[in-house]
C-alpha cells in the first residue's frame, strides 16, 4: 500500500489505505482485529480522489443514509475471499444475511454441492475494507450478532444506524 488517510467517525478513528491513486485497498477501525499496523507508517495523502470519495461515502453513511455508491476498490485475495466480499456488497443497506445464506448463494453460483458457513465466516472476518464492504450485515443463523473484527459494540451501532434506530 502506498498512501494512508484518517477519518474521524462516531465510532473512532478509521484508517484508509490506497495503492496508487485510484482505488481503496483498505479501511479499518483503529485497533480492530487484523488491523495492519504498518498502515500507520504509510505517508499521509489527504488529497487522493479515492480518499475524498471514501470520506463522502462515510459522511453520508454516518448521517444515517445509504450512500448509494461504492468507491473504487482494490481487492487482493484468493478467488474465494473475493467472491465472499463481492457477495457482501450485494447485501442491501439496513438488511442482514447469515453466514449460511451467503454460503448457499455462493455454492449455487459456483455449482458446487456445498460451501461451509465457517469458511465464509473466515473470509468475512478478513474483509480489508470494513463498512464499505458491509461485513457488519452478516449474522449467525439465528440472527444473533456474531463476530465482527471492529467489535460487537460497533456492529450493533452500525446495524441500529442503518435501521434508523439511533
The residues annotated with a catalytic role in the active site are 135
Q: How many C-beta atoms surround the C-beta of residue 37 within 10 A? A: 8
- Backbone phi and psi for residue 156, each to the nearest 5 degrees, phi listed first: -60, -45
15: how many CB neighbours lie within 10 A of its CB?
Answer: 22
Coil vs helix vs strand at 33: coil
Residue 32 · residue 151 · CB < 8 Å: yes
Amino acid at each position: 500500500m502506498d498512501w494512508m488517510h484518517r477519518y474521524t467517525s462516531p465510532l473512532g478513528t478509521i484508517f484508509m489505505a490506497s495503492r496508487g491513486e485510484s482505488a481503496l485497498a483498505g479501511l479499518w477501525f483503529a485497533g480492530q482485529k487484523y488491523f495492519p499496523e504498518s498502515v500507520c507508517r504509510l505517508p499521509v495523502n489527504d488529497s487522493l480522489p479515492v480518499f475524498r470519495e471514501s470520506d463522502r461515502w462515510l459522511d453520508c453513511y454516518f448521517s444515517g443514509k445509504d450512500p448509494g455508491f461504492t468507491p473504487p476498490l482494490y481487492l487482493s485475495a484468493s478467488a474465494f475471499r473475493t467472491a465472499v466480499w463481492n457477495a457482501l456488497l450485494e447485501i442491501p443497506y439496513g438488511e442482514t444475511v447469515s453466514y449460511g445464506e451467503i454460503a448457499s448463494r455462493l455454492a449455487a453460483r459456483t455449482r458446487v454441492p456445498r460451501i461451509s458457513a465457517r469458511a465464509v465466516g473466515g473470509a468475512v472476518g478478513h474483509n480489508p475494507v470494513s463498512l464499505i464492504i458491509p461485513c457488519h450485515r452478516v449474522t449467525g443463523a439465528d440472527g444473533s450478532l456474531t463476530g465482527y473484527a471492529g467489535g460487537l459494540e460497533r456492529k450493533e451501532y452500525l446495524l441500529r444506524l442503518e435501521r434508523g434506530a439511533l
